[in-house]
Amino acid sequence: MADKRREIAPLLRPVFPEELAELHAALPPPPSFLQALRRPDGKLAVIAEIKRRSPSAGAIKESVSAVAQALRYRAAGASALSVLTDTKYFGGTLADLRDVTGEFARSGPPLPCLRKDFMVHPIQVLQARQAGASAILIIVRALGDDEIAALQHAATAAGLDVLYEIHKPEELQRAVGHGAKIIGVNNRDLAVFKTDLALSESLIPLFPKGVVAVSESGIATAADAARARACGAHAVLVGEALMKAADPAALIAEFQGAR
């Protein structure tokens, strides 16, 4: 987070809701991330992530084309995408998001894309909307309530959904206090990089009725997806397993059919 604050410091300026609303009105509306996670067939939605590397896994698929991977995911039946746009730790760029949404606009049908990054300022929300995102990420543990409110208000003005990421019960309460409609439990403890699906099993049952629940990290098999679904998850966010899979379509089908 400190690196991200330094990285965007030269870009910082006031970003008012009116500017974001005008931008939203001027651009084609993005597909709804929220709606994509509520599958009418009752199956588990899969948010397929484009991730070249990570601090926990190291190099995963460094040279992959974001567009090519996005097209594989779309053909495989993913409900939505998560596109890493942080360069230093994940090997992604904002251009990856722009290229993916641009390709979807040309070739259709589009999938909603989450801008996955360390979001700290509304200028990043403006960038996300310009790049065609449908949603942004808010990591609750990493931000103060004033910062969260500013990001949420900016996202609303820009017509974007928000995925609130939590790891503890107190973070769930903070997210709910900000009106979160989509909450994801990160099963990986970002302090020590330990992954435990029991976190989803303990926290998702506490979610208010109507909130879309996402289980993030540590989903690699149908059995993992079944555990997430059993505790109430509407969706799973999967990066490393899908990036490494020889047949992403088969793995996504396993996740969707998990019982």
The model's pLDDT over 54-78, given as tens digits with 9 standing for 90+, comes to: 887 788 788 899 999 999 999 999 9
Long-range contacts of 21-26 (CB under 8 A, 24+ apart): 21/157, 21/158, 23/126, 23/129, 23/130, 23/158, 24/129, 24/157, 24/158, 24/159
Average confidence (pLDDT) over 111-120: 98
Q: What percent of the chain has pLDDT over 90?
A: 86
Q: What is the pLDDT of residue 60?
A: 79
pLDDT band, very low/low/confident/very high, at 192 (cuts 50, 70, 90): low
User: All domains of the chain, ordered by start, with CATH?
Assistant: 2-7+32-256 (3.20.20.70)
**Out of 79, 134, 186, 200, which one is annotated catalytic?**
186
Per annotation, catalytic residue among 103, 171, 201, 216: 216
Lowest mean pLDDT among 12-16, 182-186, 239-243: 239-243
Q: Which residue among 116, 171, 187, 200 is the active-site one?
A: 116
Based on the residue annotation, tell me whether 217 is a catalytic residue of this protein. Answer: yes
Q: Out of 82, 187, 200, 217, pick the active-site residue.
A: 217
To the nearest 10°, report the CA torsion of 241, 43, 38, 167.
Answer: -40
Residue 24 has pLDDT above 80, yes or no: yes
Predicted confidence band at 189 (pLDDT cuts at 50, 70, 90)? confident
Q: How confident is the model at residue 257 (pLDDT cuts 50, 70, 90)?
A: confident
Answer yes or no: is pLDDT of 190 > 70: no
